Amino acid sequence: MITVVGSLNMDLIIRVPRFPTPGEAIHGDDLQTACGGKGANQAYAVARMGQPACMIGCVGTDAFGEAMLANLRAAGVDTQGVIRRAGSASGTAMILVHDATGQNEIVVAAGANRTLTAADVHAAADRLTEADAVIAQLETSLAATEAAMTIARRAGRRSILNPAPFAPLDDALLQLCDYLIPNENEASRLAGVEVRDLESAAAAAQALRLRGARNVLVTLGENGVWVDAEAWRGHVPAFPVAAVDTVAAGDTFIGAFATRLAEGAPVREAAQFGCAAAAIAVTRPGAQPSIPSREEVESLLRAHSA
């Protein structure tokens, strides 16, 4: 089982021919909704990869919250650890998706996500101590994230932190991370090294390991991922695809990567599996609707190894 401590958001998506400049109004396509949130996306991805997944987080008592929980349960995610917080709106994210490139701009209204406390996480500690891996991000309170990483470390469970969206982190938290998985922007700001190519990604990863993270993977979008791990160090390239929508690509990578780690795969193989899953996800619109099945990922890997 893999337990995810994190956010659940309803995504409100508008496709646009270009991103607006400040003060400008432009026309986009009709509004679409899709279940998202970095934590929920990662739990959904784990379940789609065939691993038992458990979600810990908060939603409001509104229609968005019920829809998000139903969507996770339909994928096989255990949602008993998700609190329905009266008086709070469920988290939402407004997402603009560029028609030509699939790149996105996102504004998140955290809502109930910000009410998740360290006490809430400790109340669900058995779901962390019994897990093969614990995944957390930074869309809930930092105290909740720290609690999740601390419980995982004390129980000897594999701890994975996706430091997104960016927030300054102290070395004590990084030292609780078995795997730290930032994208190039987050790695740049955490390491103080501008990531613009593989060489600078390697320098940033090394700096973050020196701060205490045991293993660091810097995701680089269409350029794959740089791995700086105890067992292997090097570049894992992305699979070439025509991107439609990059929403949840990183979350898909993390869920798939964590699944293969939990199954005993070496870090390089797990990263390749994650890249394959993310490659399929970017060819489809939406967050959770874009996440592929295990069979689709394995089919892509077979096609590229033939």
Residue 169 CA to residue 273 CA, distance in Å, equals 28
Helix, strand, coil percentages for the chain (3-state, nearest 5): 40, 25, 35
Residue 17 CA to residue 23 CA, distance in Å, equals 17
Residue 289 CA to residue 41 CA, distance in Å, equals 10
Q: Strands, E, within 86-156: which ranges?
A: 91-98, 104-109, 133-136
Is position 251 annotated as part of the catalytic site? Answer: yes
By CB atoms closer than 10 A (0-12, 13-18, 19+), residue 303 is: exposed
Q: Which two tokens stand for residue 58?
A: 């908060």
**Beta bridge partners of residue 36, listed in sequence order:** 9
Residue 268 CA to residue 163 CA, distance in Å, equals 21
From the candidates 11, 78, 178, 251, give the one annotated as an active-site residue. 251
Over its C-alpha atoms, the chain yields an Rg (Å, rounded) of 18
Active site residues: 251
